């Protein structure tokens, strides 16, 4: 007896049953296809809100807390640290948003392509009826991106993109750096409140005391909310990487047909081989090296 998940994917291996005549040839790639960007209004709004919230935190940290501080070393160290982490967070967000997450070529389920695969007897291929593509193992269709994504974990509106094989590293870095700047901002707000209670409020900020309190309270609310959300997301992503099981695979409880690797090797598959400081850089493209992305049980 086959499970419902297997029945929906049980496609015969011969080209006739795949109905390739219903699939138009894939569109030719042009120069505009080199940059990946999803035209989803909800995702675009969420992405803009993310950047605005980071800029708001920058404004409060720099102009409300650091510049008015009398201790130059305190302002300089915290300013460099916070702005550096914020820059890495936004760079990671941009890379996660504009990197192809692993989209399967659209409309490649043509008769010519299926015949070119030279399938062996008993070998099965799967066709996605929505994007008319030959679906690789561990790929799932995203209704927002309108494409099948290899090793798709989930679609995140905050980065306006799917989290998949090619951009999971940048998404993990984004959640990590946002959690770090949120924690750092909360620490600075706590120190600033203590300083202002001991000193004259008019001397601890360039703004009026009511405006300063409102700005700091809003920053506390934003920092606490983002810290909890991104820390939990960071933890779930690291757990997903270490167990080599995407969020969708866990949700659907799909049968594991790929070889089990060590947690350290799974980390190298996502962040690059070998381990280096480039793991923390959103500008470094992961080099898998000896870390095989797909190892299946024979």
Q: Which two tokens stand for residue 77?
A: 């160290």
Contact 136, 104 (CB under 8 A): yes
Catalytic residue among 23, 145, 156, 162: 156
Whether 156 is catalytic: yes
Burial of 216 (0-12, 13-18, 19+ CB in 10 A): buried
Q: ∠262-265-267 over CA atoms, to 5°?
A: 110
Contact 216, 193 (CB under 8 A): yes
Query: What's the DSSP call for residue 295?
Result: -
271-294 as b/e: b if 16+ CB within 10 A: bbbeeeebbebbeeebeeeebeee
**Residue carrying structure tokens 């561990």:** 138
251-264 as b/e: b if 16+ CB within 10 A: eeebeeeeeebeee
Could you give the CA distance from residue 264 to residue 279 in angstroms, rounded to a whole number? 13
Could you give the CA distance from residue 44 to residue 39 in angstroms, rounded to a whole number? 7
Q: List Cα–Cα distances, 145 to 40, 106, 129, 155, 250, in angstroms.
A: 8, 11, 15, 8, 21
Q: Which residues are catalytic?
A: 156
């Amino acid at each position: 007896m086959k499970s419902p998940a297997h029945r929906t994917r049980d496609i015969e291996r011969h080209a006739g049953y795949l109905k390739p005549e219903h699939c138009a040839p894939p569109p030719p790639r042009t120069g505009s296809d080199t940059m990946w960007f999803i035209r989803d209004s909800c995702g675009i709004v969420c992405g803009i809100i993310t950047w605005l919230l980071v800029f708001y935190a920058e404004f409060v940290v720099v102009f409300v807390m650091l510049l008015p501080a009398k201790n130059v070393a305190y302002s300089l160290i915290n300013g460099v640290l916070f702005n550096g982490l914020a820059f890495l967070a936004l760079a990671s967000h941009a890379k996660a948003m504009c990197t192809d997450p692993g989209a399967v070529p659209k409309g490649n389920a043509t008769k010519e392509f299926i015949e070119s695969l030279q399938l062996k007897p008993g070998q099965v291929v799967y066709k996605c009826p929505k994007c008319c593509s030959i679906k690789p193992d561990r790929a799932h269709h995203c209704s927002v991106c309108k494409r099948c994504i290899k090793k798709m974990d989930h679609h995140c509106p905050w980065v306006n993109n799917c989290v998949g094989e090619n951009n999971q590293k940048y998404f993990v870095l984004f959640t990590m750096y946002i959690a770090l700047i949120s924690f750092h901002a909360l620490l600075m707000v706590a120190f600033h409140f203590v300083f202002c209670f001991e000193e004259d409020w008019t001397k601890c900020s360039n703004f009026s005391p009511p405006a300063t309190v409102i700005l700091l309270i809003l920053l506390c609310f934003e920092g606490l909310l983002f810290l909890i959300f991104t820390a939990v997301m960071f933890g779930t992503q690291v757990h997903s990487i270490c167990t080599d099981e995407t969020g969708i695979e866990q949700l659907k409880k799909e049968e594991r047909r790929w070889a089990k690797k060590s947690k350290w090797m799974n980390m190298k598959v996502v962040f690059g081989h070998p381990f280096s400081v480039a793991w923390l850089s959103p500008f470094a493209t992961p080099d898998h090296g000896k870390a095989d992305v797909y190892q299946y049980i024979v």
